[in-house]
Structure 1
């Protein structure tokens, strides 16, 4: 893996999802795809999750920022999503929190974005990884 690999982990979760659950999903996803934890540059989610304790705790453990995006800033990323969830849309106004947030973070930091790992689900959480592509 090149040293310059930078990944942005988009996370969607139910209220109260703890850092251990989120960390397990992230670790399993990275391992399954042969990607190093050290490549994760930021966590990202929708603005409504900005104060979610599990997300904040995981960002602190990884020593990366938690970037949050409002629904309006995620709308133009919809064509890049691998999956559109009616349930996510009903709860958040966004068709895919994890993928959209990951893409938005990569675009914000890297200037362009692509999904590296599409939506992964584990219990109360979803995760996707984006990169510059």
Structure 2
């Protein structure tokens, strides 16, 4: 079970998200087809770029509450107080990847790629 967790600023395009995703997967020598899903914060439920990316890739997109994301804080490579102020959790990309991989598999997940950044997006990849 491999899941990409995504965070982004409002209005971030699907193209920017996809470019960050493809670059990160290439660094890991993983094909796009290795992904089982995408995940983000519940605050991003209406984010057009995320929704469009999931539709283009034909992947499920899970959303998690701040409380669900906070449950994974001990596994983060880095946390951000700024992100916590905005979202209620110290991480979006890493925590949502961990939460989704764990929930979908029923097993403990671990990061295989810590947070990566583009101008308007963050991404992390977890495996369970």
Question: Same-fold call, TM > 0.5?
Answer: yes
2:51 equivalent to 1:56:
yes
Q: TM-score, normalised on structure 2?
A: 0.96
For 2:119, the equivalent position in structure 1 comes to 123
* Matched residue, 1:75: 70
Q: TM-score, normalised by structure 1?
A: 0.93
2:90 paired residue number: 95
C-alpha separation between the residues in 2 aligned to 1:38 and 1:51? 25
Supply the distance in 2 between the matched residues of 1:74 and 1:126 (Cα, whole angstroms).
15
- Show the counterpart of 1:3: none
Match of 1:26 among 18, 21, 35: 21
Number of aligned positions between the proteins: 127
Shift of 1:85: 1.1
Instruction: Give the match for residue 12 of structure 1.
Output: 7
**Please, which runs of 5 or more residues in structure 1 have no aligned partner?**
1-5
User: After superposition, what is the alpha-carbon deviation per residue over 1:86-131, rounded to whole angstroms, capped at 9, x for unaligned?
Assistant: 2211111110100000000001111121111000011110000001
Question: Are the equivalent residues in 1 in contact too, given 2:69–2:91 (CA < 8 A)?
Answer: no
Deviation at residue 34 of structure 1 after TM alignment? 0.8
3-state DSSP class of the match of 1:82?
coil
* C-alpha RMSD of matched pairs (Å): 0.7
Give the CA deviation at 1:10.
0.2
